[in-house]
Structure 1
Amino acid sequence: MRVHDIQGTTRISPFAGQKVTDVPGIVTAVRTYGSSKGFWLQDAAPDDNPATSEGVFVFTGSTPKAAVGDSVTVTGTVSEYVPGGASSGNQSLTEITKPTVATVSTGNAVPAPVVVDEDAVPDAYAPQGDTAAAGSVNGLTLDPSAYALDYYESLEGMNVQVADARVVTATDPYSELWVTVKPWEHRNRRGGTVYGSYTSQNTGRLQVQSLGATADFPKANVGDTLEGATTGPLDFNQYGGYTLVASKLGTLDSAGLERETTRRQSSRELAVATYNVENLDPSDATFDKHASAIVNHLQSPDIVSLEEIQDDNGAKDDGTVDASQTVTKLIDAIVAAGGPKYDWRAIDPVNDQDGGEPGGNIRQVFLFNPERVSFTDRAGGDSTTAVGVTKVHGKAQLTASPGRIDPANAAWANSRKPLAGEFVFRGKSVFVIANHLNSKGGDQGLASQYQPPVRSSEVQRHAQAAVVHAFVKNLLDVQKNADVIALGDMNDFEFSGTAKILEGDGELWSAIKSLPRSERYTYDYQGNQQVLDQILISPAIRRGCDFEYDSVHVNSEFNDQISDHDPQVLRFRP
């Protein structure tokens, strides 16, 4: 029995669940930390079938005694381990478990790494899943010359190498980053790789971890390069799929990426922004940095929709829902940074009913500069009362301001309810709806065994988008030329079904689509720069053709980010 026999020509070993005896190979790397201790075994005498991997992970469960360069034989049980569990939809990792290891010799040369580069990785991402197997690709014969996921699978457990690889997702708190082996694949001017459709998954992306100390892992930003060779076994994990677990890391070469600054609005322009401040509560140490971002990089917008403002004691689940301390602390930090003294409006949620971190009671909050814009207060808005629209002197008015949109609707179960507010700028009313739609949590990953992956979170998000759209349509039916803005963390792409439902028959339009395709991103996930945050505008704003949109990249591309979202700014003349 050889390793390539165990791996076979599909994703599932033909010997899964069976005992194998005296499987020979060279130890190429050893993992001595975490819950998956063991070593990688590679056959030094490969077969001639490109679909069969020559490497496999041997799971020991405790610190392995094998050392790199050992020639060993392994007896154990072949297992298909699914990182994250079967419900995740992830592909499985072929392993040998409960091993007995016999050392034949030591100090042997490790098999030369397979070079993974733009010429080797196919342009197509994945085959269509087998409809008879619920869309799974597990039983399909691998075609590593046709599909990127098949190519990576054919190298599972083998020693691989990338060279001079550009970083496309910055180092995260878990000492991981993403590189691309395809330098020109949907590249943007800041060094990232843009995700522009469901069929452009970006095949050159690869996660990089390290077998060394986390303290030595490079603190990389997007656009930086791992110069020279980065070498190690190709693994598969729960949080990203195929991962090069590096025995040797390239040297970090900084591209010197700097945080963007938008231009200041003119006296006649209204600047409206959305910013997800990522579970902000009074105990956080990021207030000064958020304030600096708002004042120095966003240039103090007139209206700021904040998402993920937590209550005054954060995740402590004791019934507290008020967020006055959180918001006041941020406003004070903005003043200290040289910004305006913002006023604010919000509605406290019902305790533990809006999702997010348990006990945190996240909600949307309007900040506004009273020197530039006024808020039209109209009593009656609370956590459970639905805001409506009336006509007064031929103009639309909200029945409550601020007010929540249809908060009892089942679409908002365990999720944030939209906050609507009526503002006045230079004598003209502007209606703003702050949103934080259902997250993409629970969706299958791009490297799922199911192709195409199932996006289960869309069901609730589409229902939410329909409720928001219906409210906007009602408002525009009352006043056709009303200035309406629906903005926030939509948790979906500008090309998504969610965006199409929000846009309807032209009642709204996602203004990020006014940017070149290479600049449409607000978030960076698994090597893909993508849109989650949007500002949608009514026809009166769009037809004026004097609006300007900016996705201000201050967070998503940086390893020291204070939020995982980039803020968005719209400037226009009402």
Structure 2
Amino acid sequence: MPSKSSARLAALTVAAVCSAASTVVLTSPAHAASVRVHDIQGTTRISPYAGQKVADVAGIVTGIRTYGSSKGFWIQDPDPDDNAATSEGVFVFTSSTPKGVAVGDAVKVSGTVSEYVPGGTSSGNQSVTEITKPVITVVSSGNAVPAPVVVDADAVPDAYAPAGDSAANNSVNGLTLRPTAYALDYWESLEGMNVQVADVRVVGASDPYTELWVTVKPDEHRAERGGTVYGSYDAQNTGRLQIQSLGRTADFPVANVGDTLAGTTAGPLDYNQFGGYTLVANSIGALESAGLERETTEKQRNGELAVATYNVENLDPSDGTFAAHAAAIVHNLQSPDIVSLEEIQDNNGATDDGTTAADVTVTKLIDAIVAAGGPRYDWRSVDPANDTDGGEPGGNIRQVFLFNPQRVSFTDRPGGDATTAVGVTRAYGKARLTVSPGRIDPANEAWKSSRKPLVGEFVFRGRTVFVIANHFNSKGGDQGLTAQYQPPVRSSEVQRHQQAALVNAFVKDILDVQKNADVIALGDINDFEFSGTAQILERDGALWSAVKSLPESERYSYVYQGNAQVLDQILISPAIRRGCDFEYDSVHLNAEFHDQISDHDPQVLRFHP
């Protein structure tokens, strides 16, 4: 039995109410005699006691959460069983701020066992085993908290997850946990327990929600600058772990990728909607900066054309980031000749009053570029029809071409608007656009609630270059990497595959007329260079994603849940690729930093047309 404390003896009882909306996978309520935490957790992801009432579950309080929608505390049995598959910790959901309990209290909890799915059952997320509607008796205080399980590179298996049960829509919920075989099973076997990591490298910068990501596997797909590269659906980064804190927000470390949390970071292991398995820390290691600096690309030479893509994240006139974006374009990107901008909003941003023009937004950026010492860019775009292209409601995001008129000219052919499809014709044996700028098949269902590609015809030193600016539909709605369904369903791919097929077909139209045409398709593709989307864009050799010319350790433009990954791409036609006379740069100036002005890194291609 736990030791007693003279401060508080077995006298305090607390009751709380749980919302039924948090409860899923319930059976008819029954009463279970006194059970242990590991009995409640069981050997699968779903408790054998789900929906049942349990009495006098004993444990030591290891952490208390007083914020957010999931208030409560964790308890852990200090006398574990000998089964590695059964967790010794569990969360007690109190609904309101827990009162009358403290870390180190020995308690007995009676209540109903529930399986709560963060984000709801439609998310596909795994569930968290909880005791709800609790009645809590404090037996003693001041007890030693069970020693944390040390989580390191040797502890976490290299294999990510078992294949889900085909009879249960590929769910892993009913499978017996194998924590020495699969990483997800290992993390699940520790759900609710006190765990510890030490001297871990940051692979996802601190965000506005006081979260960051670390890896316990320092050599796992290490990026050149300290992150962890996501390079394949079949090679998951098993060492990633989200870090939150039970302490004050002001005390949370402000970290960039490559920094280190030196010493130990310890606390209960949770599972949440936005990151899966999360160490909710009672104590966090000391931040050691790696001194990461923002990258600067090379300046294009006189005979080189520099083309860039840059997602400026919902830029509208009210934002305070214009000077920073301008400095990035002028100094870090070295004033490219052509810049494809994604997520340019209309003149009043999210105000949904029918405004679709973006001239105020674009002019403000161009003026800021001049003030930063850059060229006075000209620009072209096509205003979308109101509220049809997705993004932030009322924002009417679109792609915009900036181009330096001292270096490159734009071929204007009137007639392009929100609903007119651009085509390809032949003139003097060369390909030309029917309208410029124009949009690819804007009425096609593939572009429903999504951005239509913007196409323009440019001339550099007498050579025509066709540029297609893209912003494919997002990954919203996809199941997470830690979902209960393995492999996770990537439902958003369906639309992106349709969009990629239309762009590929349009490029082929150009190449059918002019085999040696210089064609660039670029932008926020919202998919990886190894994805089915990229394969469709590259179909029949029409295009090739130039990011693949970089070493694998440098292939990323975005960091999500500690995975450094490619979302932004520049794809080139055979005429550009054939001579290998090009240079590609993923310019890392945003995604790895806590103070990013966009969540995307820009990409730059330099070549001789």
The answer to whether the superposition gives a TM-score over 0.5 is: yes
- Post-superposition Cα deviations, 1:320-353, rounded to whole Å, max 9, x if no partner, equal 0000000000000000000000000000000000
In the alignment, the residues of structure 1 paired with residue 138 and residue 543 of structure 2 have an alpha-carbon distance, to the nearest angstrom, of: 68
Pair 1:533 & 2:533 matched: no
Give the aligned partner of residue 121 of structure 1. 156
1:330-387 Cα distance to aligned partner (Å, 9 max, x none):
0000000000000000000000000000000000000000000000000110000000
Amino acid at match of 2:574: P
1:542 counterpart = 2:597: no
Name which of 508, 521, 544 aligns with 1:509. Answer: 544
Task: Find 1:410's aligned residue among 445, 452, 456.
Answer: 445
Aligned position for 1:322: 357
1:188 Cα shift?
A: 1.7
Q: Using the TM superposition, give the Cα deviation of residue 545 of structure 1 relative to its aligned residue in structure 2, in angstroms.
A: 1.2
Q: 1:34 aligns with which of 44, 51, 68?
A: 68
Q: 2:421 aligns with which of 386, 389, 394?
A: 386
Q: Give the AA of the match of 1:231.
A: A
User: Aligned equivalents of 2:493 and 2:258: distance in 1?
Assistant: 32
Correspondence for 1:22: 56
- Secondary structure in 2 aligned to 1:290? helix
How many Å apart are 1:146 and its aligned residue? 0.3
Alpha-carbon separation, structure 2, partners of 1:283 and 1:424 = 34
State the secondary structure of the residue aligned to 2:511.
Answer: helix
- SS at 2:446's partner residue? helix
Measured in 1, the distance between the counterparts of 2:208 and 2:434 equals 45
Look up the match of 2:599: 564
User: Residue deviations 1:50-98, cap 9 Å, x none?
Assistant: 0000000000011112100000000000000000000000000000000
Q: Which runs of 4+ in 1 moved over 2 A?
A: none
* 2:446 maps to 1:446: no
Q: Which residue pairs with 1:396 in the alignment? A: 431
Deviation at 1:397, TM superposition (A): 0.3
**CA positional deviation for 1:218:** 0.6
- Deviations along 1:227-261, one digit per CA (max 9) or x if unpaired, are 00000000000001000000000000000000000
SS state at 1:245 partner: strand
How far did 1:141 drift?
0.1
Report the residue type matching 1:423 in the other structure: F
Partner Cα separation in structure 1 for residue 443 and residue 93 of structure 2 = 50
Indicate which of 544, 548, 558 corresponds to 1:523.
558
The one of 394, 402, 413 aligned to 1:359: 394
Counterpart among 111, 116, 128 of residue 76 in structure 1 = 111
For the residue of structure 2 that corresponds to 1:360, the secondary structure is coil
Residue type matched to 1:422 in 2? E
Distance 1:40 1:489 in 2: 42
Structural mapping, 1:87-486, within 5 Å = 87-486=122-521
Aligned counterparts of 1:69 and 1:175: Cα–Cα separation in 2: 26
Q: Which amino acid aligns with 2:568?
A: D
2:86 corresponds to which letter in structure 1? T
Percent same amino acid at aligned positions? 81
CA distance in 2, matches of 1:528, 1:229: 23
Tell me what 1:59 maps to: 93
C-alpha deviation, 1:458, in angstroms: 0.3
1:35 to partner: Cα distance: 1.0
Aligned amino acid, residue 16 of structure 1: A
Instruction: Measure, in 1, the Cα distance between the counterparts of 2:92 and 2:122.
Output: 24
The worse-fitting range, judged by mean Cα deviation, of 250-259 and 61-70 is 61-70
Give distance in 1, aligned partners of 2:123 and 2:420: 37
The number of residues matched between the two structures is: 574
Partner amino acid, structure 2, of 1:512: V
Displacement, 1:452?
0.2
Q: Distance in 2 between matches of 1:251 and 1:328?
A: 44
CA deviation vs aligned residue, 1:13-46 (integer Å, no higher than 9, x gap): 0000000000000000001111111000000100
Q: Deviations over 1:285-307 (max 9, x none)?
A: 00000001000000000000000
2:31 alignment counterpart? none
Counterpart code for 1:443: D
Q: Give per-residue Cα distances to partners, 1:203-228, cap 9 Å, x unaligned.
A: 00000000011111111000000000
Distance (whole Å) between structure 2 residues aligned to residue 201 and residue 444 of structure 1: 15
Q: Deviations over 1:512-565 (max 9, x none)?
A: 000011110000000100000000000000012110000000000000000000
- How many Å separate the matches in 1 of 2:295 and 2:235? 26
> How far apart in 1 are the matches of 2:522 and 2:304?
18
3-state SS of the aligned residue for 2:210? coil
For 1:33 and 1:445, how far apart are their aligned partners in 2?
24
Aligned AA (1:17): G
Residue 366 of structure 2: SS of its match in structure 1? helix
Are positions 1:46 and 2:95 aligned together? no
* Secondary structure, counterpart of 1:559 in structure 2: coil
Structural RMSD (CA) = 0.4
Q: Secondary structure at the match of 2:308?
A: strand
Unaligned runs of 5+ in 2: 1-34
Partner secondary structure for residue 576 of structure 2: helix
Could you say what secondary structure the match of 1:505 adopts?
helix
Distance 2:165 2:513 in 1: 50
How far is 1:201 from its partner?
Answer: 1.3
Instruction: Report the TM-score when normalising by structure 2.
Output: 0.94
Taking the aligned partners of 2:118 and 2:235, their CA distance within structure 1 comes to 25
Distance in 1 of aligned mates of 2:505 and 2:399: 20
CA deviation vs aligned residue, 1:138-157 (integer Å, no higher than 9, x gap): 00000000000000000000
Question: SS in structure 2 opposite 1:12?
Answer: coil
Distance 1:333 1:76 in 2: 61
Q: Give the counterpart letter for 1:154 in structure 2.
A: S
Tell me the secondary structure at the aligned position of residue 119 of structure 2: coil
Amino acid at match of 1:47: D
SS of the residue 2:553 aligns to: helix
